[in-house]
């Protein structure tokens, strides 16, 4: 049986909460979810199935190209990754697959189907969906489809039968992440991926060393469960070494928070140093999960970039978001990261619950005081399956369960609602542009960044972002 897994184009992104100038310059990253389920299925089934991954984004394929590819390859099963903001594009690929071959089995998985399984499984062109972590469920789905058997006994797989949508029991999260095979990056054109913050002319890849998050921020979707499951330092090192042997030297660590366990983070760094691996790393951390010793060790191991979620410069807003951090912890984390020589990236939110113009000004002031290399001010967007979304519906700030309606009836003109308790959407957009311009168009910032530029390409990229911020 021929199996084709597709990462859909990003031609019809649901309107985002970040300005185009920043989202368009983020880089291209491998679809790790598809890579994990494909690798696991190949481990379990060997050569029983011909499994391919088509990343239409990195291959720059439009819908006519996808149609032609499907006509040539004639897969028996098509699996499509579906993130919330890619729902329209995912559904376009679903329909093309069915138009090319009405008998093909179409399965969809990812964050959005996991949140809205019944709405997604009800779409006429979708045969089944994989909910949650997909490695085991997808592998069992392949067996059942190949044998023409019912999907009734597969936990984590929902499907349609003659009477409607069948919601199967959910599968437990994978506890032993070391038991999973390393993603087979030979399934993808690894040379084409890049991180915009990374060094030029190096090969990069994403790296997942843990799953889940124990924190309770109101704006975060609880898609992976609160229990954080971590791979052992030795297992992580083995994957890094495997990539290193392929010429991959830049690693974007996509854990929600890499430094939850500082001892483990240091152990991974020690192993990298011990092996003498000349790599660079980009990672995400919380300001209350780092100290100087940990950051110095990570920098020694190759950590050149670190991203912190600051969210606000006002203690009351941080409390409303259940962020669980203080302004002093924020300032301390950035001081320590700069002392370690690490490039800093700060995320802020605009228009959070309870926020007024005064609190926005406090966030801008904090950003200038911290002076990170990149500061991104995102408009607060209540995502589905978050506490903020539920509060917004209950309070009337949001007009009903609109994400569920969108999932049941995907439409290209859909616009997500922002938290408009004290601002209109137009006012939030105006503030977003204002704070970005105020932050980036400071002589001290511009001069500081120019001193750090290492190549003409980097200079051009930064200039392009600045021009887009200025002209909107």
Reported as a pLDDT band with limits 50, 70 and 90, residue 121 is very high
Q: What is the pLDDT of residues 426-454, one digit of tens each?
A: 999 999 999 999 999 999 888 887 877 76
State residue 75's pLDDT score: 98
Residue showing tokens 């690798």: 39
Distance, in Å, from the CA atom of 56 to the CA atom of 66, rounded to the nearest integer, reads 8
The boundaries of every CATH 3.40.50.2300 domain in the chain are: 2-166
- Per CATH, is 193-381+418-440 categorized as 2.40.50.150? no
CA–CA gap between residue 40 and residue 56 (Å, rounded): 22
Strand, coil or helix: 405 = helix
**Token pair recorded at residue 199:** 């060094």
Whole-angstrom distance, CA of residue 230 vs CA of residue 175: 9
Kindly give the pairing relationship between strand 2-7 and strand 50-55. parallel
Q: What is the location of CATH 3.20.20.70 in the chain?
A: 193-381+418-440
DSSP string, 271-329: HHHHHT---EEEEEE-GGG--HHHHHHHHHHTEEEEEEEEE-S-HHHHHHTT----HHH
Supply the pLDDT for residue 455.
64
Query: How many whole angstroms separate alpha carbon 402 and alpha carbon 39?
Result: 36
Q: Which of 138-142, 181-185, 357-361, 406-410 has the lowest mean pLDDT?
A: 406-410
Average pLDDT over the chain reads 91
* CATH of 2-166 among 1.10.10.10, 3.50.50.60, 3.60.20.10, 3.40.50.2300: 3.40.50.2300
Contact status, residue 126 vs residue 90, Cβ threshold 8 Å: no
74 three-state secondary structure: coil
Six-digit token string for 172: 């437990």
Checking if the pLDDT of 174 tops 90, the result is: yes
Instruction: Kindly list the distances between the CA atom of residue 192 and the CA atoms of 118, 149, 185, 454, in Å, as whole numbers in the listed order.
Output: 36, 39, 12, 21
297: number of Cβ within 10 Å = 21
């Amino acid at each position: 049986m021929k199996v084709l897994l597709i990462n859909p184009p990003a031609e019809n992104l649901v309107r985002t909460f970040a300005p185009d100038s920043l989202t368009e310059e983020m880089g291209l990253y491998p679809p790790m979810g598809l890579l994990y389920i494909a690798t696991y299925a190949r481990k379990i089934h060997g050569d029983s199935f011909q499994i391919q991954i088509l990343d239409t984004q990195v291959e720059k394929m439009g819908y006519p190209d996808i149609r032609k590819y499907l006509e040539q390859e004639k897969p028996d099963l098509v699996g499509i990754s579906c993130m919330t903001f890619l729902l329209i594009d995912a559904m376009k690929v679903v329909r093309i697959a069915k138009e090319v071959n009405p008998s093909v089995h179409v399965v969809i998985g990812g964050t959005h189907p996991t949140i809205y399984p019944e709405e997604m499984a009800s779409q006429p062109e979708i045969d089944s969906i994989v909910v949650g972590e997909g490695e085991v469920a997808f592998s069992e789905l392949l067996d059942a489809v190949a044998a023409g058997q019912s999907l009734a006994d597969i936990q984590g797989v929902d499907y349609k039968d003659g009477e409607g949508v069948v919601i199967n029991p959910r599968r437990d999260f994978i506890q032993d992440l070391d038991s999973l095979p390393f993603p087979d990056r030979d399934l993808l054109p690894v040379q084409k991926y890049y991180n915009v913050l990374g060094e030029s002319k190096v090969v990069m890849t994403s790296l997942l060393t843990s799953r889940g998050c124990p924190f309770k921020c109101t704006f975060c979707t609880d898609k992976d469960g609160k229990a954080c499951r971590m791979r052992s330092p030795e297992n992580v090192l083995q994957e890094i070494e495997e990539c290193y042997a392929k010429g991959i030297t830049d690693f974007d660590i996509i854990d929600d928070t890499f430094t939850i366990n500082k001892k483990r983070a240091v152990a991974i760094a020690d192993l990298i140093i011990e092996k003498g691996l000349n790599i660079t790393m980009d990672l995400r951390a919380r300001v209350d999960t780092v100290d100087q010793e940990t950051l110095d060790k990570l920098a020694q191991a190759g950590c050149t970039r670190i991203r912190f979620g600051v969210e606000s410069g006002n203690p009351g807003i941080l409390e409303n978001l259940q962020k669980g951090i203080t302004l002093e912890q924020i300032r301390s984390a950035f001081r320590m990261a700069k002392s370690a020589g690490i490039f800093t990236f700060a995320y802020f939110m605009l228009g959070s619950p309870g926020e007024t113009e005064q609190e926005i000004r406090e966030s801008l002031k904090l950003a200038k005081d911290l002076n990170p290399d990149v500061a991104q001010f995102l408009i607060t967007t209540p995502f589905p399956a978050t506490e903020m979304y539920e509060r917004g519906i209950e309070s009337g700030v949001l007009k009903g369960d609109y994400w569920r309606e969108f999932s049941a009836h995907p439409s290209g003109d859909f616009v997500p609602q922002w938290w408009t308790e004290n601002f209109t959407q137009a006012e939030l957009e105006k503030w977003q542009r204002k704070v970005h311009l105020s932050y980036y168009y400071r002589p001290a910032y511009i001069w500081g960044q120019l001193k750090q530029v290492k190549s003409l390409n980097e200079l051009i990229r930064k200039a392009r972002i600045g021009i887009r911020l200025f002209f909107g």
